[in-house]
Amino acid sequence: MIKVGVVGGTGYTGVELLRLLVLHPEVELKVVTSRSESGRKISDLYPNLRGHLDIEFTEPDVDRLAECDLVFFATPNGIAMKSVPTLLEKGVKVIDLAADFRIKDADLWSQWYGMEHACPELLEEAVYGLPETSRAEIAKARLVANPGCYPTAVQLGFLPLIKAGLVDPSALIADTKSGVSGAGRGASVATLLCEATESMKAYKADGHRHLPEITQGLQWHSEGKVGLTFVPHLTPMIRGIHATLYANLTQDVDDLQALFEQAYQDEPFVDVMPAGSHPETRSVKGANTCRIAVHKPQNGNTVIILSVIDNLVKGAAGQAIQNMNIMMGLEEDAGLRHVALLP
């Protein structure tokens, strides 16, 4: 059994990790931290875990975490980087669900995240944990940067076209919608029921911190320079990301559907739907799946890709467990064989 720690076990991605990990056949949860709930039985705060997890939250103490084989950080940005060097020195593998190790350029990271990086020397070693592009590197990694939720949906949608060099990479558009759990469990006016329901709004249209992450990831696979317009929206649902992606073809393509089907034919967690489909966020709710559909309206030059994920699963905790499975040499889908909840 692999001894696992979760830092930030009270947050939405933290408790999603717990929900999935308690049923993982190869995992023993050793340490789950929370500063605010330290000493409290986890299943008292989250009764869905009653009968599955019998330990208490503890303070985030590096020496205790060092008793684990692998530690997940489900904490705000800028927290993992303070403890990662010590944990790696002690032989512990780390998966950070936050953004501390996602951007390779430390100055660019500081510009978007508003703080100095605590261990820029680890940025090169850290592997960006999108299994569909980096499985071999993840398998050898000590430190994995789990991708952001929007970046997962957007990159998985654009990548087959970018890799094949079929679209103009300088004029990509990602129009994305997120459920409110994307903002985390912390109290804020914007996520109050009365503020977030029966209404919808764009935010950070002039620059969201996922823009450099998505651009970096697409650029790794593009010959030409990537230019992306990225507009996130907050929508009145709890879970889900819906990305509507636009790209302009630079050449005639016989069969875009076949291109996408071939690109993902061996991927356990990417489902290319039949031509003409419109994937719904509820079709991936609770599941580690990205569902994609491709459209070419009026047989014109513009390709539209529709890409949906559950922000807490393929966009965070599920993808993190997929990365753990790869890092630890387990079946990639161990503990992740969930079918989405309907309705």
Ligand X SMILES: CC(=O)N[C@@H](CCC(=O)OP(=O)(O)O)C(=O)O
Ligand Y SMILES: NC(=O)C1=CN([C@@H]2O[C@H](COP(=O)(O)OP(=O)(O)OC[C@H]3O[C@@H](n4cnc5c(N)ncnc54)[C@H](OP(=O)(O)O)[C@@H]3O)[C@@H](O)[C@H]2O)C=CC1
Residue ranges that bind ligand X, judged by CB under 6 A: 98-99, 148-149, 178, 182-183, 210, 232, 234
- Asked if 290 is an active-site residue, the reply is no
Question: Least distance to ligand Y from the beta carbon of 19, Å?
Answer: 12
With beta carbons less than 8 A apart as the criterion, state whether 310 and 318 touch.
yes
The site partner of 14 among ligand X, ligand Y, none (C-beta below 5 to 8 Å per kind) is: ligand Y
Angle formed by the axes of helices 318-327 and 131-140, to 10°?
40
Tell me the C-alpha distance between 296 and 42, whole Å. Answer: 49
Give the DSSP per-residue string, 85-151.
HHHHHTT-EEEESSSTTT-S-HHHHHHHHSS--S-GGGTTTSEE--HHHHHHHHHH-SEEEPPPHHH
With beta carbons less than 8 A apart as the criterion, state whether 25 and 10 touch.
no
The site partner of 186 among ligand X, ligand Y, none (C-beta below 5 to 8 Å per kind) is: ligand Y
Instruction: Fill in the per-residue mask, 90 to 129: x = in contact with ligand Y (CB under 6 A), - = not in contact.
Output: -------xx-------------------------------
Angle at the Cα of 100 (from 59 to 183), degrees rounded to 5? 75
Catalytic residue (one of 119, 149, 194, 290): 149
With beta carbons less than 8 A apart as the criterion, state whether 275 and 257 touch.
yes
Which residue has its beta carbon closest to ligand X? Answer: 148
With CB under 6 A, what is the number of residues at the site for ligand Y?
31
For ligand X, the closer CB: 273 or 324: 324
Q: Report the residue from 77, 110, 248, 277 that binds ligand Y according to the rule CB under 6 A.
A: 77
Where on the chain is the footprint of ligand Y (CB under 6 A)? 7-14, 34-37, 60, 74-77, 79, 97-98, 148-149, 181-182, 184-186, 311-312, 315-316
Q: Which residues are catalytic?
A: 149
